[in-house]
Structure formats: structure tokens, C-alpha cells
């Protein structure tokens, strides 16, 4: 089964050809990061326009690299939510056009189901059920993946997503957009125990998260230093902030694994490419005897290969989208 997958939910225009759900024949990503850096964040209007410009050539390249033509395909998969509405619409319209012209089934994919499915690419042995920590720019969820595309949500963030916290802290210490990778890099030169930032717990919700407190603590620290004229060490701030976030992510994941008797643990989403999180999760899993799964960094951040994998499992279950498939900007996990 050959699937062409398209992803355009945010600022990456991406296309991929996936064979039998687990083999990636091509994975083309055209990032707009350089463009949005000028504005300090993603400008939705500009993102949509850039997707329009790039999408055909990205798809062309994905087919060429895979050594296939549109006639070889069995289905078209596309992200239809959540994300920026104008950005999503470009991919959805494109996928519909190809599917209609080539008389192929169309499969709308949930972007976060895609992030989780990235784990199947390099772990042929991984099958549900397993526990997955989803940490991206807009989501922080702790879920049990009960079956392909079936989730039981154990915990979620009450305010900022983990990636959002990285981006805001990066901006506050002058690292700019995109923040996560820059905090990750700078933290390597800092002391993770230099500053004690808060690790938020939510009364009665042991698997939930809150990151607005640690973000405010960083801002307060900066304001205080500015008022007193104290010198700040940005690497220490980055490392200490990251340490506080990673501590909570790992601790809650381990608690859920124990309480629900899960022996397989995976991570997903852009923040899953964070070096400190990957190392800490691996160490904790080894300590408690769990198997640990994580996508390579290139499959953690937005890409179409993960959408192709998710589309395959939906396709096999019989999921089909109609010609009325629309972009759903705030699509919730587990909804269709």
C-alpha cells in the first residue's frame, strides 16, 4: 500500500510517500523558519501564502525521491487539523484535487495522531498499547495509545504547552524564534542546578501539567536581575528552566506508567527532539525496566512521513474522508 501524505498545518510545507505504513520512501520538508524569524513567530497569513507557493514542488520532489508517480498510489493522506486554518486549507485543497483527479481514496489525518505515529517509523516492533507523552508547540498530553488512532487521555496541560513555554522563555532571554532548539543548545553551556525554578503539581490531577508558573518564574528572575543590576547568565537560566520542565515531564510519565501498568513508553512532538528530555526519559525507563521509544529528531518536529503512517492505519481501518473534508483548526485528540 502506497500513500502520499501532505502536511501544512503550521510553517512546514511537507510531503512524503509511505509504503505499508512503516517504510518512508521520501520525506520532503520545506521550512519557513527563516521567513518567520523576521517577525519573531509564525505569521499565519504569510504561512498560507508560502504553502501555496511551495506545495506543488514539495509533492513533486516527494514522488521523484520515492521513485513513484501518482498512478502508483493507493491513497492520499492529509492533515486537516489542528493548526492554522489558512495553512491547513492549502494542504486539504491540494489533497482533494489529487485524490479527485486520480480517483483515489482521501484520508484526513489528525496532526497529533501523526506525531504519535512517528514512533512506528524506526521501531518496527512497537505496537499499541503503550504510554505516550505528547509534547509539541500546541499540545502537552499524556495518553495511552490503546490501538492505532485510539487514545485514552490521562493528563493534559492546564495552560501553556511545553513547546510554547520553551518559545516564550527563549524570547524572554533574547534567543528569538524558534525557541526550543535554541534553549536546548544554549543549555549545554549552563548549569541545570544554578537556579531553582518551580515544578508545578496540580492537586488531584497527578498526570496534568502547568508551565505558566515556571515561565513566570523565569520572567520574574529576569526583572529582578534588571532592577538590582545583577548580571545574568543566560545559559544557566536556559539549563535550569529546561531541567525544571523535563523533571516534571519525566516524573508524571513514570507515575502514569506505574499506575496503569504500562511497560512501553514513547514520546512525540517537537519537544521530543530535546536532548535533555530524551536522555532523562531513557535513564528513567532503564531504571524502572520499561522499554523506551522515540522518533529521530527529524520525525519529532512537523513532517509528512508521520502523517503518512497515521493515514495508513486509518486507511486499513476503513477511514475515508469525503469531498467536503474541511480544515478544523481546533480539532481535539480523539475527535474526527
Tell whether 134 is in a known binding site.
yes
Using CB under 6 A, which residues numbered 262 to 301 contact ligand ATP?
269-271, 273-274, 301
184 is an interface residue for ligand ATP by CB under 6 A: yes
The entry of Mg ion, Fe ion, ligand ATP, none that residue 114 binds, CB within 5 to 8 Å by partner kind: none
| Footprint of Mg ion (CB under 5 A) | 10-11, 302
CA dihedral 179→184→185→191, nearest 10 degrees, is: 120
Q: Report the alpha-carbon distance of residue 275 to residue 306 in Å, rounded.
A: 20
- CA dist 254 and 131 (Å) reads 10
Q: How far is the CB of 30 from Mg ion (least distance, A)?
A: 11
**How far, in Å, CA of 235 to CA of 241, rounded?**
10
Minimum CB–partner distance for residue 137 and Fe ion (Å): 6
- Consult the annotation and say whether 135 binds a ligand: yes
What is the full DSSP assignment across 28-79? EEEE-HHHHHTTTS--HHHHHHHHHHHHHHHHHHHHHHHT--GGG-SEEEEE
Nearer to ligand ATP, 36 or 123 (CB): 36
Q: 137: annotated binding-site residue? A: yes
Question: Is residue 181 close enough to count as binding ligand ATP by CB under 6 A?
Answer: yes
Burial of residue 70, with CB atoms counted within 10 A of its CB: 0-12 exposed, 13-18 middle, 19 or more buried: middle
180 binds, among Fe ion, ligand ATP, Mg ion, none (CB under 5 to 8 A by kind): ligand ATP
Q: Is 274 annotated as a binding residue?
A: yes
| Residue 302 labeled ligand binder | yes
310, 6, 5, 288: which is closest to 128 by C-alpha? Answer: 310
Binding residues (CB under 5 A) for Fe ion: these are 136, 302
Q: Which residues are annotated as a binding site?
A: 111, 115, 134-138, 167, 180, 184, 274, 302
Q: Which residues are annotated as a binding site for Fe cation?
A: 111, 115, 302
Amino acid at each position: 500500500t502506497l500513500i502520499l501524505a501532505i502536511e501544512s498545518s503550521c510553517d512546514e510545507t511537507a510531503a512524503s510517500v509511505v509504503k505499508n505504513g512503516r517504510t518512508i520512501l521520501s520525506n520532503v520538508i520545506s521550512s519557513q523558519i527563516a521567513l518567520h524569524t523576521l517577525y519573531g513567530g509564525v505569521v499565519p497569513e504569510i504561512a498560507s501564502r508560502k504553502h501555496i507557493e511551495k506545495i506543488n514542488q514539495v509533492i513533486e520532489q516527494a514522488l521523484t525521491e520515492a521513485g513513484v508517480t501518482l498512478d502508483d498510489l493507493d491513497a492520499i493522506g492529509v492533515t486537516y487539523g489542528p493548526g492554522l486554518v489558512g495553512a491547513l486549507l492549502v494542504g486539504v485543497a491540494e489533497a482533494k484535487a489529487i485524490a479527485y483527479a486520480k480517483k483515489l481514496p482521501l484520508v484526513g489525518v489528525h496532526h497529533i495522531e501523526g506525531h504519535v505515529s512517528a514512533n512506528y517509523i524506526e521501531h518496527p516492533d512497537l505496537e499499541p498499547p503503550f504510554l505516550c507523552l505528547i509534547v509539541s508547540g500546541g499540545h502537552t498530553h499524556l495518553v495511552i495509545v490503546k490501538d492505532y488512532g485510539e487514545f485514552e487521555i490521562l493528563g493534559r496541560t492546564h495552560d501553556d504547552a511545553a513547546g510554547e513555554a520553551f518559545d516564550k522563555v527563549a524570547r524572554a532571554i533574547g534567543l528569538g524564534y524558534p525557541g526550543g532548539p535554541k534553549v536546548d543548545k544554549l543549555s549545554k553551556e549552563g548549569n541545570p542546578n544554578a537556579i531553582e525554578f518551580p515544578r508545578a503539581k496540580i492537586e488531584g490531577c497527578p498526570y496534568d501539567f502547568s508551565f505558566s508558573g515556571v515561565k513566570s518564574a523565569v520572567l520574574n528572575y529576569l526583572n529582578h536581575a534588571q532592577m538590582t543590576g545583577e548580571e545574568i547568565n543566560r545559559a544557566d537560566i536556559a539549563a535550569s528552566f529546561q531541567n525544571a520542565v523535563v523533571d516534571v515531564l519525566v516524573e508524571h510519565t513514570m507515575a502514569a506508567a506505574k499506575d496503569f501498568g504500562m511497560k512501553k513508553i514513547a514520546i512525540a512532538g517537537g519537544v521530543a527532539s530535546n536532548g535533555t528530555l530524551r536522555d532523562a526519559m531513557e535513564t528513567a525507563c532503564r531504571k524502572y525496566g520499561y522499554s523506551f521509544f522515540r522518533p529521530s529528531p527529524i520525525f519529532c518536529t512537523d513532517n509528512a512521513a508521520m502523517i503518512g503512517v497515521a493515514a495508513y492505519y486509518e486507511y486499513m481501518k476503513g477511514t475515508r474522508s469525503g469531498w467536503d473534508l474541511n480544515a478544523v483548526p481546533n480539532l481535539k485528540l480523539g475527535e474526527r
